Amino acid sequence: MTFILNDYINMYIKRARKTGNKEIALHLLDIIPKTCHLNDAIFNSIQNEIKDKIDAGRSFQVAFDRVSRKYVLQGHLITAKLPAVLIRIIANKEKFLEKVSNKINIPIDELKNQMAVMGIKDFAPRLGKLSEGGKMVFATFDDTNMEKDPFENSKADEIISRAALDMNSFDEGEPITVVKIRYRNLAHIDKKFPSFADAGWRKTFFPANKNDKYGRTRSLNSKWDGVAEVVHKDVKMSEVIEDGAFIGS
Protein backbone atom coordinates (compact mmCIF):
# COMPACT_ATOMS: atom_id res chain seq x y z
CA MET A 1 0.00 0.00 0.00
CA THR A 2 1.22 3.51 -0.80
CA PHE A 3 2.27 5.49 2.26
CA ILE A 4 1.84 9.26 2.02
CA LEU A 5 2.52 10.38 5.59
CA ASN A 6 6.32 10.07 5.81
CA ASP A 7 7.09 13.77 5.52
CA TYR A 8 4.22 14.74 7.81
CA ILE A 9 5.32 12.37 10.57
CA ASN A 10 8.98 13.34 10.24
CA MET A 11 8.03 17.01 10.56
CA TYR A 12 6.04 16.20 13.70
CA ILE A 13 9.03 14.32 15.15
CA LYS A 14 11.29 17.34 14.61
CA ARG A 15 8.84 19.65 16.37
CA ALA A 16 7.50 17.41 19.15
CA ARG A 17 8.58 18.45 22.64
CA LYS A 18 7.98 15.23 24.51
CA THR A 19 10.36 12.32 23.98
CA GLY A 20 7.54 9.83 24.48
CA ASN A 21 5.50 11.34 21.67
CA LYS A 22 8.51 11.32 19.35
CA GLU A 23 9.01 7.62 20.10
CA ILE A 24 5.38 6.82 19.36
CA ALA A 25 5.48 8.80 16.10
CA LEU A 26 8.64 6.96 15.04
CA HIS A 27 6.94 3.67 15.85
CA LEU A 28 3.88 4.57 13.77
CA LEU A 29 6.15 5.68 10.93
CA ASP A 30 7.59 2.15 11.01
CA ILE A 31 4.44 0.04 11.41
CA ILE A 32 1.72 1.83 9.45
CA PRO A 33 3.31 1.04 6.04
CA LYS A 34 3.53 -2.64 7.11
CA THR A 35 -0.22 -2.87 7.65
CA CYS A 36 -1.89 -6.05 6.44
CA HIS A 37 -5.45 -7.29 6.91
CA LEU A 38 -6.96 -3.87 6.20
CA ASN A 39 -8.81 -2.98 3.01
CA ASP A 40 -6.73 -0.76 0.69
CA ALA A 41 -9.50 1.81 0.31
CA ILE A 42 -9.89 2.12 4.08
CA PHE A 43 -6.13 2.38 4.55
CA ASN A 44 -5.99 5.20 1.99
CA SER A 45 -8.99 6.96 3.54
CA ILE A 46 -7.31 6.96 6.95
CA GLN A 47 -4.11 8.41 5.51
CA ASN A 48 -5.89 11.07 3.48
CA GLU A 49 -8.04 12.19 6.41
CA ILE A 50 -4.96 12.45 8.64
CA LYS A 51 -3.17 14.43 5.91
CA ASP A 52 -6.14 16.78 5.49
CA LYS A 53 -6.27 17.52 9.22
CA ILE A 54 -2.53 18.21 9.33
CA ASP A 55 -2.85 20.51 6.31
CA ALA A 56 -5.62 22.30 8.22
CA GLY A 57 -3.22 23.00 11.08
CA ARG A 58 -3.54 19.99 13.38
CA SER A 59 -0.49 18.16 14.69
CA PHE A 60 0.07 14.60 13.56
CA GLN A 61 -0.83 13.35 17.03
CA VAL A 62 -4.17 15.16 17.14
CA ALA A 63 -4.98 14.20 13.56
CA PHE A 64 -4.06 10.57 14.15
CA ASP A 65 -6.14 10.35 17.34
CA ARG A 66 -9.25 11.88 15.78
CA VAL A 67 -9.14 9.89 12.57
CA SER A 68 -8.25 6.60 14.26
CA ARG A 69 -11.35 6.76 16.44
CA LYS A 70 -13.47 6.75 13.28
CA TYR A 71 -11.84 3.62 11.90
CA VAL A 72 -11.78 1.11 14.72
CA LEU A 73 -12.83 -2.46 13.91
CA GLN A 74 -12.08 -2.10 10.21
CA GLY A 75 -9.52 -4.91 9.97
CA HIS A 76 -10.21 -8.07 8.04
CA LEU A 77 -12.56 -10.61 9.59
CA ILE A 78 -10.81 -13.48 11.36
CA THR A 79 -12.00 -16.80 9.98
CA ALA A 80 -9.63 -19.15 11.84
CA LYS A 81 -10.81 -21.15 14.84
CA LEU A 82 -11.24 -19.22 18.08
CA PRO A 83 -11.71 -20.46 21.66
CA ALA A 84 -15.01 -20.50 23.54
CA VAL A 85 -13.50 -18.20 26.17
CA LEU A 86 -11.47 -15.04 25.50
CA ILE A 87 -9.41 -12.96 27.92
CA ARG A 88 -9.42 -9.23 28.53
CA ILE A 89 -6.45 -7.79 30.45
CA ILE A 90 -6.72 -4.40 32.15
CA ALA A 91 -3.54 -2.86 33.53
CA ASN A 92 -3.55 -1.40 37.06
CA LYS A 93 -6.09 -2.84 39.49
CA GLU A 94 -6.19 0.35 41.57
CA LYS A 95 -7.06 2.60 38.64
CA PHE A 96 -9.68 0.11 37.49
CA LEU A 97 -11.29 0.14 40.94
CA GLU A 98 -11.09 3.91 41.10
CA LYS A 99 -13.01 4.21 37.82
CA VAL A 100 -15.64 1.76 39.04
CA SER A 101 -15.89 3.61 42.35
CA ASN A 102 -16.50 6.92 40.59
CA LYS A 103 -18.95 5.38 38.13
CA ILE A 104 -21.23 3.71 40.68
CA ASN A 105 -20.64 6.24 43.46
CA ILE A 106 -19.31 3.86 46.11
CA PRO A 107 -16.27 4.80 48.22
CA ILE A 108 -13.29 2.79 47.02
CA ASP A 109 -12.69 1.06 50.38
CA GLU A 110 -16.30 -0.08 50.46
CA LEU A 111 -16.04 -1.21 46.83
CA LYS A 112 -12.99 -3.31 47.64
CA ASN A 113 -14.80 -4.92 50.58
CA GLN A 114 -17.83 -5.73 48.43
CA MET A 115 -15.70 -7.21 45.66
CA ALA A 116 -13.73 -9.28 48.19
CA VAL A 117 -17.00 -10.85 49.30
CA MET A 118 -18.82 -11.08 45.98
CA GLY A 119 -15.98 -11.57 43.50
CA ILE A 120 -15.67 -9.91 40.11
CA LYS A 121 -18.18 -12.19 38.36
CA ASP A 122 -21.02 -11.58 40.81
CA PHE A 123 -20.23 -7.87 40.81
CA ALA A 124 -20.21 -7.74 36.99
CA PRO A 125 -23.71 -6.23 36.53
CA ARG A 126 -22.32 -3.02 38.05
CA LEU A 127 -19.06 -2.96 36.10
CA GLY A 128 -20.28 -1.81 32.71
CA LYS A 129 -18.56 -2.88 29.52
CA LEU A 130 -15.36 -4.77 28.88
CA SER A 131 -13.50 -1.82 27.41
CA GLU A 132 -14.25 0.66 30.20
CA GLY A 133 -16.20 2.96 27.92
CA GLY A 134 -14.60 2.50 24.50
CA LYS A 135 -16.03 1.14 21.27
CA MET A 136 -14.01 -2.04 21.06
CA VAL A 137 -12.05 -4.63 23.02
CA PHE A 138 -8.64 -6.21 22.55
CA ALA A 139 -8.93 -9.89 23.50
CA THR A 140 -6.31 -12.59 23.78
CA PHE A 141 -6.06 -16.37 24.08
CA ASP A 142 -3.71 -19.32 23.66
CA ASP A 143 -3.75 -20.23 19.98
CA THR A 144 -1.71 -23.39 20.63
CA ASN A 145 -4.29 -24.81 23.05
CA MET A 146 -7.74 -23.23 22.82
CA GLU A 147 -8.81 -24.71 26.16
CA LYS A 148 -5.88 -23.20 28.05
CA ASP A 149 -5.51 -19.85 29.81
CA PRO A 150 -2.15 -18.50 28.55
CA PHE A 151 -1.75 -16.51 31.79
CA GLU A 152 -2.51 -19.33 34.21
CA ASN A 153 -0.17 -19.02 37.20
CA SER A 154 1.44 -15.90 35.67
CA LYS A 155 2.22 -12.78 37.67
CA ALA A 156 1.27 -9.29 36.60
CA ASP A 157 4.62 -8.27 35.13
CA GLU A 158 4.64 -11.31 32.84
CA ILE A 159 1.03 -10.74 31.79
CA ILE A 160 1.66 -7.09 30.96
CA SER A 161 4.78 -7.98 28.97
CA ARG A 162 3.11 -10.76 26.99
CA ALA A 163 -0.01 -8.71 26.30
CA ALA A 164 2.21 -5.71 25.39
CA LEU A 165 0.26 -3.31 27.58
CA ASP A 166 1.29 0.28 28.16
CA MET A 167 3.34 0.75 31.33
CA ASN A 168 2.19 4.38 31.44
CA SER A 169 -0.82 3.01 33.28
CA PHE A 170 1.39 3.01 36.38
CA ASP A 171 2.91 5.86 38.33
CA GLU A 172 6.57 5.60 39.31
CA GLY A 173 6.98 3.08 42.12
CA GLU A 174 3.37 1.90 41.93
CA PRO A 175 2.83 -1.87 42.33
CA ILE A 176 2.33 -3.72 39.04
CA THR A 177 -1.16 -5.26 38.96
CA VAL A 178 -3.70 -6.37 36.38
CA VAL A 179 -7.34 -7.29 36.18
CA LYS A 180 -7.93 -10.49 34.21
CA ILE A 181 -11.43 -11.04 32.83
CA ARG A 182 -12.30 -14.35 31.17
CA TYR A 183 -15.48 -14.10 29.13
CA ARG A 184 -17.58 -16.03 26.62
CA ASN A 185 -16.77 -15.60 22.95
CA LEU A 186 -20.12 -14.63 21.46
CA ALA A 187 -20.36 -16.24 18.03
CA HIS A 188 -22.57 -13.49 16.56
CA ILE A 189 -19.96 -10.78 17.23
CA ASP A 190 -17.31 -10.43 14.53
CA LYS A 191 -13.69 -10.79 15.59
CA LYS A 192 -11.25 -8.73 13.52
CA PHE A 193 -7.51 -8.39 12.95
CA PRO A 194 -6.31 -5.46 15.09
CA SER A 195 -5.06 -2.46 13.13
CA PHE A 196 -3.03 0.62 14.07
CA ALA A 197 -6.34 2.54 14.24
CA ASP A 198 -7.59 0.18 16.95
CA ALA A 199 -4.33 0.49 18.89
CA GLY A 200 -4.25 4.28 18.79
CA TRP A 201 -1.40 6.45 20.04
CA ARG A 202 0.94 3.86 21.56
CA LYS A 203 4.20 2.16 20.72
CA THR A 204 3.61 -1.44 21.82
CA PHE A 205 1.31 -2.50 18.97
CA PHE A 206 2.59 -4.34 15.90
CA PRO A 207 0.37 -5.37 12.96
CA ALA A 208 -0.16 -9.02 12.05
CA ASN A 209 1.94 -10.46 9.28
CA LYS A 210 0.32 -11.32 5.96
CA ASN A 211 0.06 -15.04 6.70
CA ASP A 212 -0.96 -14.76 10.36
CA LYS A 213 -4.29 -16.28 11.41
CA TYR A 214 -4.75 -13.71 14.18
CA GLY A 215 -3.11 -10.60 15.49
CA ARG A 216 -0.12 -11.20 17.74
CA THR A 217 1.49 -9.12 20.45
CA ARG A 218 5.21 -8.57 20.61
CA SER A 219 6.22 -9.19 24.20
CA LEU A 220 7.90 -6.35 26.04
CA ASN A 221 10.38 -8.84 27.54
CA SER A 222 12.27 -11.35 25.40
CA LYS A 223 12.03 -14.09 28.05
CA TRP A 224 8.27 -14.34 27.44
CA ASP A 225 6.42 -14.97 24.18
CA GLY A 226 3.68 -12.75 22.83
CA VAL A 227 0.08 -13.96 22.57
CA ALA A 228 -2.60 -14.10 19.91
CA GLU A 229 -5.06 -11.21 19.86
CA VAL A 230 -8.26 -10.09 18.17
CA VAL A 231 -10.54 -7.06 18.45
CA HIS A 232 -14.32 -6.95 18.59
CA LYS A 233 -17.06 -4.51 19.50
CA ASP A 234 -17.65 -3.79 23.16
CA VAL A 235 -20.12 -5.85 25.19
CA LYS A 236 -21.55 -5.66 28.68
CA MET A 237 -19.38 -7.56 31.12
CA SER A 238 -22.42 -8.99 32.89
CA GLU A 239 -23.59 -10.68 29.67
CA VAL A 240 -20.39 -12.61 29.00
CA ILE A 241 -18.17 -12.91 32.07
CA GLU A 242 -16.99 -16.36 33.16
CA ASP A 243 -14.64 -15.27 35.93
CA GLY A 244 -12.19 -12.57 36.89
CA ALA A 245 -9.18 -12.02 39.10
CA PHE A 246 -6.91 -9.31 40.43
CA ILE A 247 -3.27 -10.30 39.93
CA GLY A 248 -0.12 -8.77 41.39
CA SER A 249 3.59 -9.34 40.87
Question: For position 159, what pLDDT does the model report?
Answer: 97
Average pLDDT over the chain, rounded to whole?
A: 94
Exposure string of 137-155, with b = 16+ CB inside 10 Å and e = fewer, is bbbbbbbeeeeebbbeebe
Q: Is the separation of the CB atoms in 130 and 181 below 8 Å?
A: yes
Confidence of residue 173 (pLDDT cuts 50, 70, 90): confident
Range 205-227 average pLDDT:
96
Question: For position 146, what pLDDT does the model report?
Answer: 95
Question: For position 133, what pLDDT does the model report?
Answer: 66
Q: Is the separation of the CB atoms in 243 and 120 below 8 Å?
A: yes
Question: For position 134, what pLDDT does the model report?
Answer: 72
Q: Is the separation of the CB atoms in 182 and 241 below 8 Å?
A: yes
Range 46-58 average pLDDT:
98
Question: For position 168, what pLDDT does the model report?
Answer: 79
Q: Is the separation of the CB atoms in 147 and 85 below 8 Å?
A: no
Q: Is the separation of the CB atoms in 22 and 13 below 8 Å?
A: yes
Question: For position 2, what pLDDT does the model report?
Answer: 79
pLDDT, tens only, 84-115? 999 999 999 999 999 999 989 999 999 999 99
The three-class DSSP label of residue 75 is: strand
Question: For position 49, what pLDDT does the model report?
Answer: 98
pLDDT, tens only, 111-136? 999 998 999 999 998 888 998 767 89
Q: Is the separation of the CB atoms in 63 and 4 below 8 Å?
A: no
| Predicted confidence (pLDDT) at residue 148 exceeds the cutoff of 80 | yes
Whole-model pTM: value is 0.94
**Hey, which residues does 232 pair with through a beta bridge?**
137
**What percentage of the chain reaches a pLDDT higher than 70?**
99
**What percentage of the chain reaches a pLDDT higher than 90?**
90
Amino acid identity at 199: A
Question: For position 1, what pLDDT does the model report?
Answer: 62
Question: For position 171, what pLDDT does the model report?
Answer: 85
Q: Is the separation of the CB atoms in 232 and 214 below 8 Å?
A: no
